[in-house]
Structure 1
């Protein structure tokens, strides 16, 4: 998409914001829902976004992209299926997001990796041998030092199975498998922007 500029004192729609940022409308919606980009809704339910907020986000993304690898947001993917790990890796490579990507095969490996470096973003499968995704996520949520970690669970389990396990923990985002990679990309970009804002 062609990047479009505008005056900072204007407001715009999600479509125009997407064009200005050269990303999808879904990605803009993810950024708005996470509070990364300021917005409000009209009485008719349409989002309106200050152009100044869009420009500020674009400037933050430029800063992230210019950061050395050691300062880029880290993404830890916990997935026991090798083919699924490969799919995630290919998607991240295609997205060309300025992140440090790491993979673990189960919850135990993930905890060891987290002890070495706290991830900014955690993507965890639920059904895994040993420590599964639920146990891993609950362990992370219980640790105050990991409070800033953005957590998402990805699984094909049914709603009934989720409810039987206690539902989706508060503050955790859930993606149904097969994953909509456009939505996941929007989520990752929103998390990166939020992480950058916290680390300033």
Structure 2
């Protein structure tokens, strides 16, 4: 299992927590972990690096997670990118909106680090 994971969140402590959570994959499987602080930066990295998995916050400045999701889904070159929305918006309508935008999974904050690790492994395996 190898690949690249991108964490896109405008909150520094959330990015750091996710990086620490996913570090095990870096050490054990050689997975690269990239980070971005907003949707525009995230979209640039997704276009350039084509990560296997993206953990994507919804409420961010410049470009929100739904917009990033739709943009990724509209580009055939990025069809292999799997997006996991990670958000404090836990309503069913929000979940549906995220899945309709093209996310393959929806996790709510506060998240369980073990669950994040499990999801990352599952999606990297394909």
TM-score normalized by the length of structure 2: 0.86
* Residue 166 (structure 1) aligned with residue 97 (structure 2): yes
* Structure-2 residue corresponding to 1:115: 47
Residues 1:97 and 1:152: Cα distance change in structure 2 (over 3 Å): farther
Equivalences for 1:1-200 in 2 at 5 Å?
A: 64=1, 72-94=2-24, 96-98=27-29, 99-159=31-91, 162=94, 166-169=97-100, 170=102, 172-194=104-126
What is the CA deviation profile of residues 117-147 of structure 1, one whole-angstrom value per residue up to 9, with x for unaligned ones?
1111111000001101110011111111111
CA distance in 2, matches of 1:190, 1:104: 22
Could you tell me how far 1:171 is from its partner in structure 2?
5.2
* Whole-angstrom CA distance in 2 between matches of 1:97 and 1:134: 32
Q: Any idea what the Cα deviations from partners look like across 1:5-63, whole Å, max 9, x if unmatched?
A: xxxxxxxxxxxxxxxxxxxxxxxxxxxxxxxxxxxxxxxxxxxxxxxxxxxxxxxxxxx
Larger CA Rg, structure 1 vs 2: 1
Change (3 A) 1:92 1:158: closer
Task: Give CA-to-partner distance per residue, 1:71-91, whole Å, 9 cap, x none.
Answer: x30001100001111111111
Q: Give me the CA root mean square deviation.
A: 2.0
> Which consecutive segments of 4 or more residues in structure 1 shift more than 6 A?
none
Gaps of 5+ in 1: 1-63, 65-71, 195-200
- How many pairs were matched up? 123
- TM-fit CA distance, 1:97: 4.5
In structure 2, stretches of 5+ residues that fail to align are: none
RCO greater where, 1 or 2, for CA within 8 Å and sep 6 or more?
2
